[in-house]
Amino acid sequence: MKKLNCKNCGGPMTIDPSGTTAHCRYCGSEYVLDHRDTDYYRDFYERMRGFLSLSSDGQERRRRSDKLWSGAASEVFECSDGRQIDIKNMYTYKDRDAAVYTARQNIIFRFDAGNSDKADKFRKNVSSVDYPSADTRNLSDFFPRISGGFELNDGSALLVVKKSEDEYPLRLFGTLSGRHTAWLIGRMENLCCVLEYNSIVHNDFGPDTLYIDPYDHQASLYGGWWNAVRNNTRVNDRICTTRDNLTALRETAANVLGFASADAVRETDDIPKPFADFLRSAPMSNAYEDFAYWDDVLIKSYGERKFINMETDDQHIYGKGK
Ligand SMILES: [Zn+2]
């Protein structure tokens, strides 16, 4: 994916899901893309979204993956011990704390010298995640597994997290249909249940930290772990609670559907009323109840026939774990 840099400060810009505007997280600049850029990003999102409706036939999947990665940019990191790390980078996301590179089988987080404590926080928070003993779904697959750490010669720290080849940042899919967003919500509720189980407020749950596998319809929470805190922790005069995860879930879903915020979600031909109501609603008191609420909304929205396997034993598992 080509990079777009801010005309004001030079920082990499984030393109909104509709592919029409670019936003700079550094200085707050925003500008409307011209038609060439717009066409490029729409095209890219279109192609990514296309993956969602394709079967996961191994050979075909490999071929598409090769094609996609053949256009990836090369990125070289110089380590303090003289080694070089060379990666193929599909997409860079940058915020105040880190630059995040999406490579084929890894996600690389780069923290500036002044932010290297964030790499430690990431490790610490991830290592504290525990899973219910009745975890039949290998929930740990959907949380970061750290495969390495490096110091670069400019003093910055690299943290390498494993991912599967077919996992991409949710951001890269642009806007999704109601039904695709519905499966995503089920997966996000699942992730929020694990956070609830661990009393973790993630604080950075969204399109840049969630990675999805479009073939298996899975979602993983790989990014932003340095901002995670325990339930009921005060951060900047605000008490963070695990309900914040569920608020972020609604904002993420609204964003993916193309709305500016959850409050702005309206019923459409594609988004039945119970679905729109859910996104505008205040979260339930915890993720287990919120997941049950969502399951009910899903049936009311799209009928008994579940278009995707929703793993109905989740609440059973979590109910026991609590
Ligand atoms: Zn800027």
Centre of ligand 1 from the C-alpha of residue 41, in Å: 19
Centre of ligand 1 from the C-alpha of residue 29, in Å: 5
- The per-residue pLDDT for 315 is 44
On whether the 168-321 domain is CATH 1.10.510.10, my answer is yes
- The per-residue pLDDT for 322 is 32
Centre of ligand 1 from the C-alpha of residue 314, in Å: 42
Ion ligand 1 neighbours (CB, 5 A) are 6, 8-9, 11, 24, 26-27, 29
Domain boundaries, the chain: 1-53, 168-321
Rounded Cα distance between 288 and 195, Å, is: 11
- The per-residue pLDDT for 15 is 86
Centre of ligand 1 from the C-alpha of residue 94, in Å: 11
Give the global pTM.
0.89
- The per-residue pLDDT for 116 is 87
Q: Which segments in the chain show pLDDT lower than 70?
A: 56, 135-136, 304-322
Give the containing element (helix H, strand E) for 276: helix 273-280
12 close to 23: Cβ distance less than 8 angstroms: no
Centre of ligand 1 from the C-alpha of residue 278, in Å: 35
Query: What is 1-53's CATH number?
Result: 2.20.25
Centre of ligand 1 from the C-alpha of residue 23, in Å: 8
Rounded Cα distance between 266 and 224, Å, is: 29
Query: Fold match between 1-53 and 168-321?
Result: no
- The per-residue pLDDT for 26 is 86
Three-class SS state of 261: coil
CB atoms inside a 10 Å sphere around CB 162: 15
Centre of ligand 1 from the C-alpha of residue 259, in Å: 23
- The per-residue pLDDT for 64 is 83
Centre of ligand 1 from the C-alpha of residue 13, in Å: 7
Q: What is the pLDDT of residues 226-252, one digit of tens each?
A: 999 999 999 999 999 999 999 999 999
- The per-residue pLDDT for 305 is 55
191 close to 316: Cβ distance less than 8 angstroms: no
Centre of ligand 1 from the C-alpha of residue 5, in Å: 8
